[in-house]
Structure 1
Amino acid sequence: MRIEREHTAAIVIDYQEKLMPAMDRKEALTENSSILLAGLRTLGIPMVLTQQYTKGLGSTVKELTRAAGTEEFVEKIRFSAFEDVIRSCPQIQEKKYIILCGVEAHICVLQTLIDLKEAGYVPVLVTDCVSSRRRADCETAFIRAQQEGAILTTYEALLFELLEKAGTDESKKIQRLVK
C-alpha cells in the first residue's frame, strides 16, 4: 500500500522540554524528527503538534517547532492524542494515512496509534522519529504497532514515498534535508 500525499496528515506527539532529555538516543531523535517535520512542511502535509500537560512538562522543544514552522499545539491530558486532535483539527479528520512521531513510543504514541487504527485510519509510525526512556519499551512498542496493523517506516523512506518523483523543486529541497 502506497502512502499518498493528498491523503496524509501527521500528529507530532509530545516532544516537550521536560521529556526530551530523558529519551533514549535523544540527539538522533531530535535530528531525525527535525528533518521529518521540515520535509513534511515542504510537501504541504498538515501537521498537528500535541503537548501533554504543558504546565508540568513544558513546551515543544524549539528545534521541532522551528522545523514544523509552528508553535501552535493541541493540549492534552489523555495519553492518546486521538480524541483531542480529531475533535479540534478538521484537516486531520478527512485524511486516510496519519503519520506518527514523538514520545514516548510505548505510551502516548502507541495509544494514539491504536485509537487511530480502531477508528479506520492507517497509522504510519516513523520508527527513527520516536523514542522512550528505555530502549526495550520502544522496541516492544514497534512490535505492538505491527500487531495492530500500523505501517512502520523511516523518515527518509517516507519523505521519498510522499515525494514520488525526482526533478522538482520539492525533490531538491527534500534531498538537501536528508543529506
Structure 2
Amino acid sequence: MQIKKDDSLLLFIDVQEKLFPHINKHSELEKKLNQLVEGMQVLEIPIIVSEQYTKGLGKTVESITQKLDNQTPTFEKMTFSCMQNPEIATAIEQSGKRTIILAGVEAHICVLQTALDLCAEGFDVALVLDAVGSRTEENKSISVLRLQNKVAFTSVESVLFELCQVAGTEQFKAISKIIK
C-alpha cells in the first residue's frame, strides 16, 4: 500500500497528560509525535485527535496541543476504538479520506482496536510504529503482531517523506528540518 497525500488523514489517539508519563520511553515517543504533527501540518494532512475519558486522563499533552490549531477536531471518547465513537467515525467518514495514519497510545488497546475496526470498515491503515506506545514494550509488541497482516507499518520519517514525494520543494525542506 502506498500512502498518498490526497487520500490520508492522521488519527492521533489518546496522548494525554495523566497517562503519557507512564508510557514506555515516553520522552522519545513525545519527540516523534511532535515531529509527526509538525510534518502533517506542513503537508496539509488533516488531523483528528481523540481523548479517552478526559476527567481521569486529562487533555492531550501540552507539547502537542501547542502545535495544533483551534480548527483541529478533538473528540472525547469512552470507547477504546475510535470507530466505536459515532462522532469520530462520522468525522473520519466525512473527511473522504480512505488512508488513516495512526499514532498515539496505548498501542495494545485503543490503537489496536481502532486499527482493527478501520480495517473492517475497508480503510487502509498505516501504523506509525515509532509514534505509538504502551506502558510496556511487550504490550506494544503484541499489538504489532496482531496487526502485521492487516496494516502497513511505517515510521515518522518514512511516512513524512512518502507523503512529500519530491525533494527540493519547500515542503521537503521543512520536513527535513523537522526530522533533524
Give the structure-1-normalised TM-score. 0.94
Match of 1:175 in 2: 176
Question: How many residues are aligned here?
Answer: 177
Q: Unpaired segments of 5 or more residues in structure 2?
A: none
Q: Is the partner of 2:148 in helix, strand or coil?
A: helix
2:28 is equivalent to residue 25 of structure 1 = no
Match of 1:150 in 2: 151
Q: Is the partner of 1:24 in helix, strand or coil?
A: coil
Cα distance, 1:67 vs structure 2: 2.9
Q: Is the partner of 1:60 in helix, strand or coil?
A: coil
Match of 1:127 in 2: 129
Q: Is the partner of 2:12 in helix, strand or coil?
A: strand
Give the letter for the 1:21 counterpart.
Answer: P
Give the whole-Å Cα distance in 2 for the aligned partners of 1:41 and 1:90. Answer: 20
Cα distance, 1:113 vs structure 2: 0.1
Give the whole-Å Cα distance in 2 for the aligned partners of 1:72 and 1:150. Answer: 24
Query: What percent identity do the matched residue pairs reach?
Result: 38
Match of 2:80 in 1: 79
Out of 102, 109, 112, the residue aligned to residue 111 of structure 2 is 109
Give the whole-Å Cα distance in 1 for the aligned partners of 2:68 and 2:143. Answer: 25
Q: Is the partner of 1:156 in helix, strand or coil?
A: helix
What are the superposed Cα offsets for residues 117-162 of structure 1, whole Å, 9 maximum, x if unpaired? Answer: 0000011000000000011000111111113x10000000000000
Q: Unpaired segments of 5 or more residues in structure 1?
A: none
Give the whole-Å Cα distance in 2 for the aligned partners of 1:139 and 1:150. Answer: 14
Give the whole-Å Cα distance in 2 for the aligned partners of 1:68 and 1:150. Answer: 26
Give the whole-Å Cα distance in 1 for the aligned partners of 2:174 and 2:94. Answer: 24
Give the letter for the 2:152 counterpart.
Answer: I
What are the superposed Cα offsets for residues 29-62 of structure 1, whole Å, 9 maximum, x if unpaired? Answer: 0000000011001101010010001111100001
Give the structure-2-normalised TM-score. 0.94
Cα distance, 1:68 vs structure 2: 3.3
The within-5 A match list for 1:35-50 is 35-50=35-50
Cα distance, 1:73 vs structure 2: 1.1
